[in-house]
Amino acid sequence: MFNESRSPRNIRRIAIIGSGMSGLAAALLLKASAVEVTLFEKSRGPGGRLAAKRLPDSLGGGSADIGAQYFTIRNPGFRELLERYVGPEHYTTWSARLRYQSDSGEWGLFKDSERYVGLPRMTAISRALSESLTINARIRIDKFERIDDDQWRLRDTEGKDHGCFDAVIITAPPAQSRDLLAASGLTGLSQFLEPHVSQMQACWTVVARFPHSLGLDYDGFQPKSDILQWAANNSSKPGREGIGEWWVLHGRPDWSDQYQNGSPEFVTEALVGAFAQATGVVEQPDHILTHRWLYAKSAATEGPGHLWFNDERIGVIGDWVQGGRVEGAYESAESLVNRLCSDGSLSPNTQDTSRTPE
């Protein structure tokens, strides 16, 4: 995409920073091309924004999806990846009754569409995708150092060396990807990410438990509200545990941004209040969990697919480079891997021990 001056190189070992949908998909697609891949993840486990929060055992256990609520499968490659690595035991359709409120205040139904969720939680997808991969978790990569013209050495925030690689693929949100490039002395490249940084939107999330069914005849909705963007009955998704009805409430991006530093109590009161106003429910939740996403979704609905800096052998992928969403994250990975395969950059690892000995 940029800096095309040099001819493609033989890339055998690739480091992927981040194990959300885009990092996991890139790793599996590259592995299928017999390239050696190592994933680094700053959190405890894979998933990124395919995220779930554990619910207390005393209230039936299980977890609530606090990030992506559902996803589409339109791209045949995405379907193939899910069928091959995830399987029907870990994802299924969510036959949700969803509605939205128009500017005039009228309620309408969402368009008919197949909506999918992880089973019994969104992270079941990332867990299954990561089964055949090695993920170096709880390692926050801080920078890469060029050790000769052809390799990068990765260092974490403690200064620890994590080995040398022919290429690096970054999957972090744009502000974090930009900072990684800048910390690695690649300020020229980091500037390409600047326009994407301001597109990322914050999202305050509240998980509210009601001891009894609220008796609503819909499973999720988008109200006309200055505060609440989305609410979903997590308990209506297949395979969810937890006693009572657990609702996930997402704050509007502009509101979440304005109250980025608001206290969880303030945020809870505002979101639960907006939920009550939209539903007419007077009952108060008896258990609350909160989560603040600084980088939840991108406002951009399209993008270049991926960034590839050929001279440096650095790629940047993620939902925000491909119009957002879980499926966009997959497509971003697919577009970079297709590109590397088709331009001859990859040099498959020919020491495949599974081959029949001669």
Ligand X SMILES: Cc1cc2nc3c(=O)[nH]c(=O)nc-3n(C[C@H](O)[C@H](O)[C@H](O)COP(=O)(O)OP(=O)(O)OC[C@H]3O[C@@H](n4cnc5c(N)ncnc54)[C@H](O)[C@@H]3O)c2cc1C
Give the nearest distance from C-beta 318 to ligand X in angstroms: 3
Under 8 Å between Cβ of 253 and 229: yes
Of positions 15, 71, 209, 315, contacts ligand X by CB under 6 A? 71
User: Which tokens hold the place of 62?
Assistant: 């299980």
Q: How far is CA 58 from CA 190, 214, 225, 235, 241, in A?
A: 47, 21, 33, 16, 12
Give the nearest distance from C-beta 101 to ligand X in angstroms: 18
285 sits near ligand X (criterion: CB under 6 A): no
250 sits near ligand X (criterion: CB under 6 A): yes
Site track 139-158 with ligand X (rule: CB under 6 A), x = hit: -xx-----------------
Q: Residue 218 and residue 240: Cα distance in Å, rounded?
A: 17
Name the residue nearer to ligand X (CB basis): 141 or 307: 141
Name the residue nearer to ligand X (CB basis): 42 or 153: 42
Closest CA to 327 of 16, 22, 19, 18: 22
Q: Choose one: 7-15, 42-50, 258-266, 307-315; the region binding ligand X (CB under 6 A).
A: 42-50
DSSP 185-238: T-HHHHGGGHHHHTTEEEEEEEEEEESS----S-SEEE-S-SSEEEEEEGGGST
Give the nearest distance from C-beta 211 to ligand X in angstroms: 25
Binding residues among 204-233 for ligand X as defined by CB under 6 A = 205
67 sits near ligand X (criterion: CB under 6 A): yes
Q: Choose one: 43-51, 213-221, 260-268, 299-307; the region binding ligand X (CB under 6 A).
A: 43-51
Give the nearest distance from C-beta 154 to ligand X in angstroms: 9
DSSP 91-129: EEE----EEEE-TTS-EEEPPP---EEESSSTHHHHHHH
Give the nearest distance from C-beta 10 to ligand X in angstroms: 26
Of positions 29, 125, 168, 172, contacts ligand X by CB under 6 A? 172
Closest CA to 54 of 207, 159, 172: 207
Q: Residue 19 and residue 243: Cα distance in Å, rounded?
A: 31
Residue 246: phi, psi to the nearest 5?
Answer: -105, 120
Query: Which residues here bind ligand X, judged by CB under 6 A?
Result: 17-23, 40-43, 48-50, 67-71, 140-141, 171-173, 176, 180, 203, 205, 250, 293, 296-297, 318-319, 324-326, 328-329
